[in-house]
Amino acid sequence: MNSLVSFLLDDVQSDFATKVMPVLRYILFAVIIVCAIVLIVTTLMQDNDTQNGLTAFTGSKQESYYAQNKGASRDSILKRITIAMAVIIFVCVITFFVTELIAGIK
């Protein structure tokens, strides 16, 4: 009876490695490509903040409504999207190579 169960489990594991893993890897690769494009676009859309280095020398700082509510600004949203895309790419790349390792073992 144990040999029958192990035969069936081995067959299921083999099917998973041969049928599901390649599809999962294609999906992960597509997600990586899309996130990389979004990451490039959001990085290019962000403003250069070159004045921050000069405020240390001059001591002047803007205290405007815009500066106080910078968390809801366009730049803040773009920075959050950039960080999220970088994390998604990192996780997908690690998962992609782990699935490649698992598929290579079988």
pLDDT on residue 88: 97
Over the chain, what is the mean pLDDT?
Answer: 77
- Average pLDDT value for residue range 19-46: 92
Please indicate, yes or no, if residue 30 is contained in any of the structural domains. yes
Q: What is the dihedral of CA 67, 72, 78, 84, to 10 degrees?
A: 130
Please indicate, yes or no, if residue 53 is contained in any of the structural domains. no
In the predicted structure, residue 87 carries a pLDDT above the cut 80:
yes
Look up the domain containing 38 and give its range.
Answer: 2-47+60-105
The pLDDT tens digits for 44-83 are 998 876 555 556 566 556 566 655 666 668 888 999 999 9
Residue 69 to residue 74: CA distance in whole angstroms = 11
Please indicate, yes or no, if residue 40 is contained in any of the structural domains. yes
Between 74-105 and 21-45, two packed helices, what is the crossing angle to 10 degrees? 160
The pTM (predicted TM-score) of the whole model is 0.67
In the predicted structure, residue 5 carries a pLDDT above the cut 60:
no
Task: Count how many domains the chain has.
Answer: 1
Please indicate, yes or no, if residue 94 is contained in any of the structural domains. yes
